Amino acid sequence: MASVESAVIARMHKGKDLFEILVDSKKALDFKLGKPYSIENILAVNNVFKDAKKGERASSADMQKCFGTADVFRVAEHIIKDGEVQVTTEERRKMVEEKRKEIADIISRQGIDPKTKLPHPVQRILNAMDQARVQIDPFRPAREQTHGIIPKLQEVIPISIQTAEIAVKIPVQYASRAVSAIRSMAAVKSEEWKTDYWYGLIEIPAGMQSQIYDRLNELTAGNVEVKVLKMKDV
């Protein structure tokens, strides 16, 4: 159970009703972002309040009406996941920066400069995000936010979101490890095992070409053949 002295309020409005709980700030934020925690370890007090500062508890009837349950821990889970958790300015700044870097990394792997056909470095994406004054939601998954951010970046830098369809040929002595690595990094559209070689047709985000080529060269001591068959917009 969290310390009452250091606890913060998490709250959620359901229509005209307000529900509050006292939680450990870090654990509640981690839980909100998908990390596993038992609710018992997040709560500072095993109660749901109408007004936590005044100590006014929410009634079982109100919880049942609004959440479909009067179980404190299940209601608390709803409040943390779907409501608002108080954070300090520094905590929010740190969360925004971490999410910003995560988004930039995703876009760097998915997008390329349509002129050079090369991926934009992460720092270039970060600089473009600053220039375009992109707003980051620290609580939304990074992948969800990329769809709205990319059009804003395209006003600042040339960027195209494409996938590359690539044919790969690997000698059989290297195939086991290399194919395992391919499956972790790419979608295998078709494959064929021969006596001496493994042939595969894979699809990857265009910005990941250098990354996967380097990995395959490392695993095959350079004995790999790759050929880009086509590029297509996402």
Taking each helix axis from N to C terminus, what angle separates 60-67 and 72-82, rounded to the nearest 10 degrees? 50
Please choose, from the candidates 106, 190, 188, 92, the residue with its C-alpha nearest in 3D space to the C-alpha of residue 144. 106
Last residue of a domain, which of 85, 102, 121?
85
pTM above 0.75, yes or no: no
Same domain, 118 and 147: yes
CATH number reported for the structural domain that contains residue 176 in this entry: 3.30.70.240
Give the CA distances from residue 76 to residues 27, 38, 58, in Å, rounded to whole numbers and listed in that order.
13, 11, 12
Tokens of 209: 């070409």
Decide: 37 and 27 in contact? Cβ < 8 Å: yes
Identify the domain containing residue 25 by its residue range: 8-85
For the chain, the farthest-separated pair of C-alpha atoms sits apart, in whole angstroms, at: 76
Please choose, from the candidates 74, 82, 87, the residue with its C-alpha nearest in 3D space to the C-alpha of residue 7. 87
Last residue of a domain, which of 42, 70, 85?
85
- Domain presence at residue 128: yes
Q: How far apart are CA 16 and CA 18, in angstroms?
A: 7
Same domain, 49 and 64: yes
Q: Looking at residue 1, what is its pLDDT?
A: 67
Coil, strand or helix: which one is 7? coil
* Tens-digit pLDDT string for the chain (234 aa): 667 778 899 999 998 899 999 999 889 988 988 888 899 999 999 999 999 999 999 999 999 999 999 999 999 999 999 999 988 888 889 889 999 999 999 999 888 898 888 889 999 999 999 999 999 998 888 989 998 999 999 999 999 888 899 999 999 999 999 999 999 999 999 999 999 999 999 999 888 888 899 999 999 999 999 999 988 877
Q: How far apart are CA 81 and CA 227, in angstroms?
A: 45
Same domain, 76 and 98: no
Residue with tokens 């007004």: 51
Last residue of a domain, which of 85, 104, 120?
85
| Count of domains observed in the chain | 3
